[in-house]
Amino acid sequence: MKRLSWDQYFMAQSHLLKLRSTCERLSVGATIVREKRMIAGGYNGSVSGGVHCIDQGCYVIDGHCVRTIHAEMNALLQCSKFGVPTEGAELYVTHFPCIHCTKALIQAGIKAVYYSEDYKNHPYAIELFQQAEVTVEKVPLEDPPFEQHRTEKKAYMHYLIRELEQSNRKDLDIPKLKQDIEHLYADTDNQES
C-alpha cells in the first residue's frame, strides 16, 4: 500500500469529520493544519446542546439553514475557544467555502485553503481569496481509505448477483460480475485484516 501524501492525509481527515455532520442538506468537514499538524477540526451542525437538523429537520430561512454552523466556522471557533492561533495555518475542507466562511478564514489568517469538491463557488469568495493572497487549490480525495457502509454495500452487491443467478439471465456473465465485486473490494478487505 502506498503512503498517503500530506494533502490526501488531511483531506481524508476532513472527509472523516464530515461523517459527524448533523446537517441533512450537505455534510461538510474541515481540518485546520499548521506545520503538518492538525490543530482543529469541525463539521457542520447545530450549536452545542441545541436541536439537530437530523432530529427535527432543517430550519430554513431564505434558502439557508440558520440552525447549522458551518464546518470551517466550527474549526475556527475551536481554535478560539482553546487559544490556538490560526495565523499562517492551512484549511482542508470537503467543499468550497461559502462567502461568510471565506471572510472568517481570511480574518483568522488562514494562508491556504484546500477543498475536495466544488460547491456553489461564489465569484466574490474567489475574489476575496485572491485579494488576500490566500492559496486556494482543489484537492479531490483519491481512493478514500474508508468508505461509509462498505460492508453493507458489498453484501448488497452479492445479494443482487444471487438474484440475477436465480433469474437465469443468459445475457449476463455472472462469474465476471462476481470477480468484479471481489476486485472492487479486495484492497479494503485486505486493509481490515
Among 72, 90, 117, 133, the one annotated catalytic:
72
Q: Is 137 a catalytic residue?
A: no
Residue 78 near residue 41, CB atoms below 8 Å: yes
Residues noted as catalytic: 72
